[in-house]
Amino acid sequence: MKTFKKIREKIASEEMAQKIAGNIITGQHRIAGYLNEKTKNLSGKARLWALVVFCTAFGGYLLWLLVRAIS
C-alpha cells in the first residue's frame, strides 16, 4: 500500500512543479513584453550604449567582488 501512496505523491509533486514552471515562464513573458515596449523607440546606437554601460557596470562590480574575495 505504501508504494501506491508514494506514486501518487510523486505525480502530485510533478504537477506542482509544472504549475510553478508555468507561472515562472508567464512572468518572464510579461517582463519581456514590458521591457520591449519600453525600448521600442530607442535607436540602435542608444541600445548599444545601454548595453556597454550595463556590461561595464556589472563587470566592474564582479571584478570588485573577486578582488575583495581574494584579499
Give pLDDT, residue 71: 85
How much is the pTM? 0.56
Give pLDDT, residue 3: 63
Q: What is the pLDDT of residues 5-57, one digit of tens each?
A: 665 666 677 888 899 999 999 999 999 999 999 989 999 999 999 999 999 99
| Cβ proximity of 39 and 47 under 8 Å | yes
Question: Which stretches of 1-71 are DSSP H helices?
Answer: 2-39, 44-70
Torsion of CA 38, 41, 43, 46, to 10 degrees: -30
58 pLDDT higher than 60: yes
Give pLDDT, residue 15: 84
Domain spans of the chain? 1-40, 43-71
Closest CA to 35 of 50, 24, 49, 23: 50
